[in-house]
């Protein structure tokens, strides 16, 4: 069984990005610059944005974190978005989700300049990815693609079952895996809460992407011998033995499934670290497109 080590791969990619940034800077070009807007302190948002800022430092990016009170109005947030759109020094920026309930995330995302939308959430980027055109692929799907690519997982002609149809992971993954890409060309089945006989379907899969957000949902009896399993789940479950009082659980029952899988991502240390590095990859791309 091959452990698909997202942590190690993310470190490798960061080192490659740093080399590119150093080259740009030594040529007198400006540092890539990622900005992040955070409104309020919902759940893990502060932690996530913190990881992104730290990752920027590691690769030599400039980063700006704009942290606003949760009482901020939608109009005020839209104004901040407009400022970042207009700022020539900012190559890409993100608005950390979720937003407070009184702000429409759809409206805010629509306001982001697609050429700076390094989260790949703007409909123009989603549409281009759907159409197979060059665009920013959102971070988690891009991270999974990089895992498949760097570990030379064959996808063409394979049967890939995606469990989950969220806009953030399931939907884009099903599009990318069935698209005409080096890590695509798979026959793809999209399963979700309405799917009947899920186990009959997952048992046919050469590749399973579990992205439904239910801890340890995918068990060994649902997986065919030799399947490749990508676990996108990151649910915080209470754990009194941990310092934080919780730990991350994936959607895959690892101990069980790893006995049958030919390759599998752990949680933590699988898809998670690749998500942050994908944001860096998109920001580097945005910076290079402007040069």
User: Is 104 an interacting residue with respect to a second copy (CB under 8 A)?
Assistant: no
The terminus-to-terminus CA distance of the chain in angstroms comes to: 43
Contact positions with a second copy (CB under 8 A) in 122-181: 122-128, 130-133, 135, 156-157, 165, 167, 171, 174-175, 178-179
Q: Which run of H or of E encompasses 190?
A: strand 187-191
The answer to whether the Cα torsion of 187, 149, 264, 141 is positive or negative is negative
- Of these, 55, 201, 212, 264, which contacts a second copy (CB under 8 A)? 201
Q: Tell the smallest beta-carbon distance from residue 270 to a second copy (Å).
A: 25
- How many residues form the binding site for a second copy (CB under 8 A)? 34
Greatest extent of the chain over all pairs of C-alpha atoms, in Å: 59
Are the C-beta atoms of residues 210 and 232 closer than 8 Å to each other?
Answer: yes
Segment lying near a second copy (by CB under 8 A), choices 35-43, 121-129, 211-219, 241-249: 121-129
Cα–Cα distance, 115 to 105 (Å, whole number): 18
Nearer residue to a second copy within complex by CB, 166 or 235:
166
- Of these, 28, 75, 86, 106, which contacts a second copy (CB under 8 A)? 106
Our separate counts of H helices and E strands in the chain read: 10, 11
Nearer residue to a second copy within complex by CB, 58 or 185:
185
Residue 187's contacts (CB-CB under 8 Å, 6 or more residues apart) are: 157, 158, 159, 160, 178
Write down the catalytic residue from 14, 96, 249, 251.
Answer: 96
Question: What tokens were used for 49?
Answer: 């944005």
User: Is 98 an interacting residue with respect to a second copy (CB under 8 A)?
Assistant: no
Length of the chain: 291
Residues noted as catalytic? 52, 96, 119
Which positions touch a second copy (CB under 8 A)? 106, 122-128, 130-133, 135, 156-157, 165, 167, 171, 174-175, 178-179, 185-192, 194-196, 201
């Amino acid at each position: 069984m091959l452990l698909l080590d997202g942590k190690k791969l993310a470190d490798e990619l960061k080192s490659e990005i740093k080399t590119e940034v150093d080259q740009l800077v030594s040529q007198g070009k400006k540092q890539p610059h990622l900005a992040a807007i955070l409104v309020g302190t919902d759940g893990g948002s502060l932690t996530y944005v913190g990881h992104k800022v730290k990752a920027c430092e590691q690769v030599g990016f400039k980063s700006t974190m704009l942290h606003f009170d949760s009482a901020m109005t939608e109009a005020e947030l839209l104004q901040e978005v407009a400022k970042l759109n207009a700022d020539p020094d900012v190559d890409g920026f993100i608005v950390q989700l979720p937003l407070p309930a009184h702000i429409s995330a759809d409206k805010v995302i629509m306001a982001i300049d697609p050429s700076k939308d390094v989260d790949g959430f703007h409909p123009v980027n989603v549409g281009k990815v759907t159409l197979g055109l060059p665009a920013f692929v959102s971070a988690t799907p891009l991270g999974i693609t990089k895992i498949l690519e760097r570990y030379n997982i064959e996808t063409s002609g394979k049967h890939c079952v995606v469990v989950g149809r969220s806009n953030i992971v399931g939907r884009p993954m099903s599009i990318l895996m069935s698209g005409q890409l080096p890590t695509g060309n798979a026959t793809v089945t999209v399963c979700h809460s309405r799917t009947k006989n899920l186990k009959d379907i997952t048992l046919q899969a050469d590749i399973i992407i579990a992205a439904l957000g239910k801890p340890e949902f995918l068990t060994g009896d649902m997986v065919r011998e030799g399947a490749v399993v990508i676990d996108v789940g990151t649910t915080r479950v209470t754990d009194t033995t941990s310092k934080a009082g919780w730990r991350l659980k994936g959607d895959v029952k690892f101990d069980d499934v790893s006995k049958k899988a030919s390759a599998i991502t752990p949680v933590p240390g699988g898809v998670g670290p690749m998500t942050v590095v994908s944001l860096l990859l998109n920001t580097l791309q945005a910076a290079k497109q402007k040069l």
